[in-house]
Chains A and B, each alone.
Chain A
């Protein structure tokens, strides 16, 4: 056999061997200086993945670095930027590739420094597993929690908790177990599929590729073996999703749609639907340069042609008729903020989701998350590295899935309009107008027809003002006047809400927002049924009133500001609430211990003061101009 022939045989074996290896993407994360980069360097070194010249360079560079008494500073292998080497910290993610006889790995070494959390999130977004390091001397820190939280948020399911620098703590079993307990205490609710803890010394190489003799008490696997054996349990149960990236039109005879399957699979002959237009067709061919394919599945980059000429362009998403995406211009999402300029609700950002791009604005910053306690906190902005839950409204309706259902179709980024920086990363929880994806089912009986039968134009009349300002009294008289004109009305106020639909809600900020949301949703349904709806709630915050207006949507929304001075309200005090609030018995009482934000431009502004309620109700009636 010639050299060429035997090489060919070897080659066949080599390629077979290589392609039989599975692949794992993981990251290292944890607080600053916990030893992440050292660990990766150590892994590369111990698994003999360094070339001679790289090793030589490493030894040369390690000289004169006071940080280690050892011969080699392993972190230099991954900290590739000059600034990183000077400061001895990691600033940005490094992607390293290595393989053992059993598996190929892509590891992203991420920075621990809080300032660079966005780069950690970058690494985490594509990882299947994470090695979360903890310095044995310091235990669980804020940054450990932050990283664990982000891991859970972006859906990393498998955590290897590496308790590092155990060499500096006499390889203490007790300490190791204490740290594990601390971690379990807060990580329990983060929803990881597996958490495995290993005591290691990245510097000395204990429990990295082989079990360390210095910790006979440890009965688990070395770190590398764990990574080789971890089953990432990839979820393949996605529905077919095909975001169109390009329309391919080389000549008049060919019209194809190029894209990468973001979920499921599709075969020639299958029926598809376009998420926006709801047009249907069938797959005629699946084209690649290597020949047409009978079928394609998640992750494949293909070009699809259809049986029918239907209008499809970049940004459209194809799905199967029975398996629609959500489609809405409003949705709730978790947001990680990644820029020094804070996220402000009134600001408009560009949003990229799959191949779709639109502008978007936060309509309701529901709460920020305190990563130390996982508690919800009221917030008016989101600062760098902050995490929050927000409602968004986009200029155009978008097609999406919840991030939990499919990260490919549920993840988005926000881009600053001026400097084009990537400023935020979002994960959609759900759409807000759940009805909207059914709006194509045109019902015979609709709002117009129902309103016609009542001979009126539906509206929502939203009263706002301090407690005891006279909202309910005025609304009540207004309802009598309207009834006298044969109009069909309904009045929603605290009494019929707090004791029924909303009796599960308290008075925290979050509950107050939810209270208003429900009121607005009910008002919308009632108005949709043809009624003129009045609501009488303090609704002290502009943001909530704006949300209410957005929920009510294209139905007439009239904001009525009952502007009664605080002294007068307090003097009236029908239920003795102001007195109690003054004594400090009621926290968050509007006007006393919590702000009332007056409308900047109410549709109707009632200078209430001491004018009689009848007069005020008549003024509203006059200004309403109901035909």
Chain B
């Protein structure tokens, strides 16, 4: 990476490191939202780099919806262990008590309670004043509008029509009591950049990104992995073993897989280059309603 040939990635890396250092310097209780996916993994890698030889001065937070892939949870714990970092896991207790799940409550309500509301509560309980996330502007059109340091008023509300101007790399990190900041060090990375960086830096990734025989059912043309017995099968439905991988990681009942034989990182990247759909197409929550991402973000979703 230190060779001159990857100037573009070097610049992105340096920009992210600068942002991460800024968070650590200007906030009292920052936290890094670690969602186990590829963007989180890059973010975490950059955080380690930013403070080297010290450790990142903030813990990792994972909002566990209870429906994450098993492999994600294993990978998460192994990663925190390997890096010797504090990991805070939060599950919305009320949602848990009500046995909230995507099957009977519907994906939208489930996401509201187990992700959005859970995140708000987790941040409040931890009294975190800055939450660092791995979102990128190229992911979605409302994200393309968001600042690197994105201000949240009390109640985690985002006011997209009234964002602070953000000039040069002079980030305004000031907040009043009760307010908070969402920080996006990967704002200017594209999906291609992420994969190229993972490849070049050899960043450990969840195996779910690589193709393997896994038990799946097909619904409306989308493939879902049956990760445990909670997945309700329809009449006559039988999980079958197919070679699949995932382009993004989330809750297994809401994350569609793609059929693939790409079992190494290089193969995945090469395959990705010829794809015709965006990475978010595999996520159900974006499609529920027009402008749904913006709405969710206003309410505190990442």
Contact = CB atoms under 8 A, between A and B. Distances in A.
Interface of A: 3-4, 7-8, 10-11, 14-16, 18-21, 23, 51-54, 61, 77-83, 85, 91-97, 104, 106, 118-119, 121-122, 125-126, 245-246, 248-250, 254, 256, 258-260, 287-291, 293, 299-301, 303, 314, 338, 350, 352-354, 407-408, 411-413, 415, 419-422, 425
Interface stretch (B65-73, B187-195, B218-226): B187-195
B51 A126 contact: no
B247 to A, nearest CB: 12
A77 B6 CA distance: 30
Interface in B131-150: 137-138, 140-145
A287 B52 contact: yes
B167 A10 contact: no
B49 A299 contact: no
A61 B278 CA distance: 17
Of the listed residues B8, B11, B263, the one surrounded by the most CB atoms of chain A closer than 10 A to its CB is B8
A487 B7 CA distance: 68
A536 B1 CA distance: 67
A81 B188 CA distance: 19
Q: Which 8 A-B pairs have the closest CB atoms?
A: A80-B141, A250-B54, A11-B266, A420-B174, A125-B167, A7-B267, A301-B17, A301-B14
Contacts of A3: 261, 267
Interface stretch (B19-27, B77-85, B91-99): B19-27
A289 B201 CA distance: 11
Contacts of A291: 2
A53 B137 contact: no
Contacts of A4: 263-264, 266-267
Interface string B243-281: 000000000000000000111101101100101111001
B266 A10 contact: yes
A104 B8 contact: yes
Nearest to A16: B5
Given A78-B144, A104-B8, A301-B17, A121 B290 contact: no
Contacts of A419: 176
B54 A82 contact: no
B17 A422 contact: no
A122 B18 contact: no
28 contacts: A4-B264, A7-B264, A10-B270, A11-B199, A18-B8, A19-B6, A19-B7, A23-B7, A51-B277, A80-B142, A81-B294, A82-B291, A92-B160, A94-B141, A95-B144, A96-B137, A118-B165, A122-B165, A125-B168, A249-B54, A258-B21, A260-B14, A288-B49, A290-B2, A293-B2, A303-B52, A352-B172, A420-B175
B276 A7 contact: no
Nearest to A298: B14
B5 A81 contact: no
B129 interface: no
A246 B21 contact: yes
B289 to A, nearest CB: 11
Interface residues of B, number: 73
Of the listed residues A85, A119, A245, the one surrounded by the most CB atoms of chain B closer than 10 A to its CB is A245
A408 B291 CA distance: 37
Given A80-B141, A96-B144, A350 B174 contact: yes
A10 B145 CA distance: 34
Given A94-B144, A303-B52, A421 B164 contact: yes
Given A18-B8, A290-B2, A301-B15, 5 more contacts: A19-B5, A80-B143, A93-B145, A118-B165, A245-B21
A588 to B, nearest CB: 37
Contact of B51 (A118, A122, A248, A353): A248
Contacts of A78: 141, 144
Contacts of A10: 266, 270
A118 B11 CA distance: 26
B88 interface: no
Contacts of B295: 82
A94 B138 CA distance: 10
A218 B18 CA distance: 45
Interface string B190-215: 10100010011000000000000000
Contacts of B269: 7, 11, 14
A282 B17 CA distance: 24
B253 to A, nearest CB: 20
Given A51-B281, A420-B172, A411 B167 contact: yes
B293 to A, nearest CB: 9
A51 B167 contact: no
A245 B25 contact: yes
A379 B185 CA distance: 40
Contact of A420 (B7, B9, B176, B261): B176
